Amino acid sequence: MLIKLIKHEMRAMLNKIPMIAIISLGMALLIRIFTLFDKNISSIPSLFISFMFMTVIFVIGLAGLNFYALFSSVSRFQKNLFGDEGYLMHTLPVPSYYHIITKFVAGLITYLIFNVLTFISMIIAFLGTDDILDMVNEINNAIKVVMEYPLTALTGFITVLSAYCALIFCCYTCVSISSLVSKGKKGIEAVLAIASLILNNVFITIITQMIDSSNSHMSIESIMLVYALYFILVAVGLFFASNAIIKRNLNLE
């Protein structure tokens, strides 16, 4: 049942991706074409301004894709579980935590797809043939460095991933709590999000101070693992909190 839920969720999420892919790859291609006529563009001010404007929009758009991945995951969680579609989802013969896991997995996959899309768009827009060869060399060098410090790279990756997971579950919990009330849901979500960010910063500061004040010299890997452990605990705690709210207090008025 969980696999089937994920299949349907991915179908819903992927529904939006082709349009975003067409826009970002199309813009990348346009910038590429403009760049081919670089000298001509510089001599025509209006064309040059248009090119610069489009490039800025393109870069901002690509940076925004990661935020969009998070936003679309949270928006799906809200609409699909607490909107009209919730009448369909919550009458399915599956336990409530299946819905949370499904949204989380689909959200992570979308995040990954958007990152790949960003990478490809950047290559199309800004790199020529020679640059690609340079870039391959750079990537090779980077891989060599990573292979020299695999543990550092691995712990770094785990820390970033666990932080993203904690962020997703934090958003899910805010949405779940706001579903308990009939009015002012958006306001409550905003207040909860701000409060949880402040609380998170307080905890991070406390952990950092504890690490700094400890006499033992911790390696960079150990420090990152401490942060990763904190994020994992937060994510697991918030997963259970969201599930408890949906399971015990579902309120589709």
Query: Which residues of this protein are in contact with other proteins, per CB under 8 A?
Result: 1, 4, 7-8, 11-12, 15, 80, 84-88, 90-95, 182, 248-253
Q: Give the residue with the Cβ less far from other proteins, 43 or 182.
A: 182
Q: Are 242 and 172 in contact (CB under 8 A)?
A: yes
Amino acid identity, residue 124?
A: I
Helix H, strand E, coil C: the string for 30-92 is HHHHHHHCHHHHHHCHHHHHHHHHHHHHHHHHHHHHHHHHHHHHHHHHHHHHHCCCHHHHCCC
- Could you say which DSSP state residue 44 is in? -
Minimum gap (Å) between residue 14 Cβ and other proteins? 11
| Rounded least distance, CB 68 to other proteins, Å | 17
Q: Considering the complex, what minimum distance in angstroms separates the CB of residue 105 from other proteins? A: 17
Contact indicator for 245, 188 with CB cutoff of 8 Å: no
For residue 191, the number of C-alpha atoms closer than 13 Å in the C-beta half-sphere is 7
End-to-end CA distance of the chain: 27
Residue with tokens 């460095």, as numbered in its chain: 145
Q: In terms of CB distance, is 84 or 130 closer to other proteins? A: 84
Q: Which is nearer to other proteins, 92 or 151 (CB)?
A: 92
To other proteins, the closest distance from the beta carbon of 165 in angstroms equals 26
- Nearest CA-CA partner of 195 in 164, 224, 174: 174
Q: Which is nearer to other proteins, 158 or 175 (CB)?
A: 175
Identity of the residue, 7 or 220, whose beta carbon is nearer to other proteins in the bound complex = 7
Least CB distance to other proteins at residue 172 (A) = 19
Task: Fill in the DSSP letter of residue 149.
Answer: S
Closest approach, Cβ 64 to other proteins, in A, equals 23
Using an 8 Å Cβ cutoff, are 159 and 221 in contact?
no
Residue (85 or 134) nearer to other proteins, CB: 85
